[in-house]
Every structure is written in structure tokens, then in C-alpha cells.
């Protein structure tokens, strides 16, 4: 879902909250008027006195007259508050109880969106992400490097465990210092080695900071793009292009057509040119395989412009079944 859609949804939620708060306040007010007959007269008197004070101010009345009228208003409000408390109501109980004290659930602070809107957008994005990915289970603190073998990586001397510990440290630092200037990442290795786990751990950390990110499995993304080709052109692709951070999971699993190949090129190239970082996870492990599948322009951009993190070991998902 695009950020504009999330903002619209957040604003709709705020409008509903505001209406609920106003309705509940009106119900409390009706109950108070029934229980305290004098209260309605005081409220009417408050309005009359407030208007009189405003007229005096507009007419340029002297300070003494203004102070006298203000004292009348203060006395009315004090009597009103005392009556409420004596009858079991809080002094402010007849006012709407808005969730946000800054914007009173309007969503606006002056001409700017209120901070509460961003909080709601962040919550909506997290809920959206959790519907499609095991976000709560994919954290840095439960990425257990001891589950990886201590043998050397193929053709090397460093142990697989050490490489995976380095990957964990790199991803943690990436999340901690994320900005628009960060490089894109290409997490590559066989299935079940933790690529998606670390990608989602980054997502979880950045959602807490309000980063506008989008996670989507490649197979789902490009199936939707193909379906929307005539119905709603560029809706999914547009969201993928616009996100502050895109996590495209399992690149290579999608059913590829000439049209989708052109979309993948546009996605990779546009996000690179506009400086929007992308995290790709893939079982594809060589640039030549990328070239063969997507063309040299895509392969060179993915392997030439991304930070490559290699994942080694034995399929952890298979090990969990034993």
C-alpha cells in the first residue's frame, strides 16, 4: 500500500475517533444536564458572558471593564466546575476526550500533518507487514549464529559461522544508521539460510523509526503487477518505486515474462537513480545467472551497485524439522 493510502486510512481513523469522542461528550453532557438542572443555565450564561467579553474587546473597552467581565466569566466557570465535582463528575468531564492533545484528532497541527498521523501510519505499515511476513519472529536478537556450521566457507578459510556473524553485524549497523544514502543490499545464498530473517529484522528496526518501507515477496509482487497491467496500471509497481526502503524477497521466484522483465529493469534502475535503497534476497548467487535471467543491465546493477552479503550453511528450516 502506498504511503498516501496509509495516510488516508490514518486520517479516516482519526475522524472516527474524533466523532466518537464528541458523541461520548454529548452523552455525558445530557446526563449531567438531567442530574444538575442549574448546569444548562450556567453553560448558556458562559456563552453570553464570553460573547459580551469579546464585544467589549472589539469595541476597545478599557482594561477595568474587560477585567470586570472576565471576573464574571471566571466566577461562572468556577461555580460550574464545583457543581460537576459535587455531583460525581470530573471538572472537565463534559469536554471531548481526544486521543491526541496536539491536534484534537483532526490530524493537523496548523498546516502540517500532526505527529499522531505518522504514528498511525507506522502502525498500519507494521500491521500490513505482519500479515505477509513473520516480523515478530525475525529479529536481530534471535538470529542464532551458533546454528551455522563452524567449517570453512567453500573455497575459503573463514568459517561459515564467522561469515554469518559478520552478516548479522552488518545488517544491525545498516538498520542503526539507515538513510537515503545507504547502499542497496543483495542477500544471496541457498534457501533456508536466514536471508529473509535479517531483511525483516532490518524492517522491524526501521519501522520503529517511522521509515516508509515496503516488504513484498517477488512472486507476489510481479503476479500483482501482471494482473494490474490493464486494470490498475502501475499501482503495485508505483508503490515499490516510491517506498523509502523496498525489501524485495526471493528475487528469482517470480514467473518471468517480457513485460515483467522490463518492469524489473525499471524498478532496479529507477530506485538506483533516485537513491532509494533496496534490499533484495535471492537464491541466485552469480552475476552470470542474473544476466541470463534478467539481462546484463539488471545483473550489472544488482551485483555492481549493491553490497553483496553471501549466506552459507545448511537449510535451517530443514534442521528444525528433525
Convert the pLDDT of each residue in 31-45 to its tens digit.
999 999 999 999 999
Average pLDDT over the chain, rounded to an integer: 90
Domain limit, last residue, from 51, 79, 113: 113
Give the residue among 253, 255, 257 at the shortest CA–CA distance from 281: 253
Whole-number Cα distances in Å, 54 to 60, 64, 78: 10, 14, 20
Instruction: Indicate whether 68 and 173 sit together in one domain.
Output: no
Average pLDDT over residues 290-308: 95
Number of residues in the chain: 322
**Residue 319 in this model has a pLDDT that exceeds 60:** no
Give the residue among 307, 228, 293 at the shortest CA–CA distance from 254: 293
Instruction: Indicate whether 233 and 302 sit together in one domain.
Output: yes
Instruction: Indicate whether 159 and 235 sit together in one domain.
Output: yes
Instruction: Specify if 121 maps to a domain.
Output: no
Instruction: Specify if 61 maps to a domain.
Output: yes
Convert the pLDDT of each residue in 77-103 to its tens digit.
999 999 999 999 988 889 999 999 899
Instruction: Indicate whether 192 and 258 sit together in one domain.
Output: yes
Query: Are 114 and 77 in contact, with CB atoms under 8 Å apart?
Result: no
Instruction: Indicate whether 187 and 250 sit together in one domain.
Output: yes
Instruction: Specify if 123 maps to a domain.
Output: no
Instruction: Specify if 16 maps to a domain.
Output: yes
Instruction: Indicate whether 237 and 293 sit together in one domain.
Output: yes
3-state secondary structure (DSSP) of residue 31: helix
Domain limit, last residue, from 85, 113, 141: 113
Instruction: Indicate whether 152 and 19 sit together in one domain.
Output: no
Average pLDDT over residues 45-52: 93
Instruction: Indicate whether 96 and 144 sit together in one domain.
Output: no
Instruction: Indicate whether 257 and 141 sit together in one domain.
Output: yes
What CATH number is attached to the domain comprising 178?
3.40.50.300
Instruction: Specify if 124 maps to a domain.
Output: no
Average pLDDT over residues 179-194: 94
Tally of CB atoms within 10 A around 319: 11
Instruction: Specify if 183 maps to a domain.
Output: yes
**Residue 240 in this model has a pLDDT that exceeds 70:** yes
Instruction: Indicate whether 97 and 14 sit together in one domain.
Output: yes
Instruction: Specify if 253 maps to a domain.
Output: yes
All 3 cell numbers of residue 104? 484534537
Instruction: Indicate whether 82 and 210 sit together in one domain.
Output: no
Average pLDDT over residues 250-275: 94
130 pLDDT band, cuts 50/70/90, is: low
Instruction: Specify if 99 maps to a domain.
Output: yes
322 pLDDT band, cuts 50/70/90, is: very low
Range of the domain at 184: 133-321
Domain count, the chain: 2
Instruction: Indicate whether 13 and 82 sit together in one domain.
Output: yes
**Please, which residues have CB within 8 angstroms of residue 302's CB and are 6 or more apart in sequence?**
186, 268, 280, 287, 290
Amino acid at each position: 500500500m502506498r504511503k498516501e493510502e496509509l495516510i488516508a486510512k490514518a486520517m479516516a481513523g482519526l475522524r472516527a475517533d474524533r466523532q466518537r469522542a464528541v458523541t461520548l461528550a454529548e452523552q455525558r453532557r445530557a446526563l449531567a444536564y438531567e442530574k444538575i438542572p442549574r448546569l444548562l443555565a450556567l453553560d448558556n450564561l458562559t456563552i453570553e458572558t464570553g460573547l459580551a467579553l469579546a464585544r467589549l474587546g472589539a469595541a476597545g473597552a478599557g482594561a477595568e471593564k474587560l477585567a470586570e467581565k472576565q471576573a464574571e466569566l471566571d466566577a461562572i466557570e468556577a461555580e460550574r466546575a464545583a457543581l460537576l465535582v459535587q455531583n460525581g463528575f470530573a471538572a472537565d468531564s463534559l469536554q471531548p476526550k481526544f486521543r491526541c492533545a496536539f491536534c484534537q484528532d483532526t490530524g493537523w497541527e496548523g498546516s502540517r500533518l500532526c505527529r499522531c498521523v505518522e504514528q498511525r501510519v507506522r502502525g498500519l505499515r507494521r500491521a500490513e507487514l505482519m500479515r505477509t511476513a513473520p516480523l515478530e519472529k525475525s529479529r536481530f536478537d534471535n538470529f542464532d549464529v551458533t546454528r551455522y556450521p563452524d567449517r570453512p566457507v567453500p573455497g575459503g578459510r573463514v568459517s561459515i559461522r564467522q561469515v554469518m556473524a559478520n552478516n548479522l553485524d552488518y545488517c544491525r549497523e545498516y538498520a542503526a544508521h539507515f538513510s537515503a544514502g545507504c547502499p542497496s543490499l543483495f542477500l544471496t545464498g541457498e534457501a533456508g539460510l536466514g536471508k529473509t530473517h535479517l531483511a525483516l529484522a532490518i524492517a522491524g528496526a526501521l519501522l520503529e523509526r517511522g521509515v516508509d518501507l515496503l516488504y513484498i515477496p517477488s512472486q507476489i509482487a510481479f503476479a500483482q503487477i501482471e494482473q494490474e497491467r490493464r486494470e490498475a496500471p502501475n499501482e503495485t509497481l508505483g508503490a515499490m518505486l516510491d517506498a523509502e526502503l523496498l525489501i524485495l524477497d526471493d528475487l528469482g521466484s517470480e514467473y518471468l515474462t517480457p513485460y515483467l522483465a522490463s518492469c524489473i529493469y525499471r524498478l532496479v534502475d529507477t530506485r538506483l537513480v533516485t537513491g532509494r535503497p533496496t534490499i533484495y534476497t535471492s537464491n541466485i548467487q552469480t552475476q552470470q545467472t542474473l544476466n541470463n535471467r534478467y539481462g546484463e543491465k539488471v545483473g550489472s546493477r544488482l551485483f555492481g551497485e549493491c553490497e553483496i552479503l553471501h549466506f552459507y550453511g545448511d537449510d535451517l528450516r530443514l534442521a528444525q524439522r528433525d
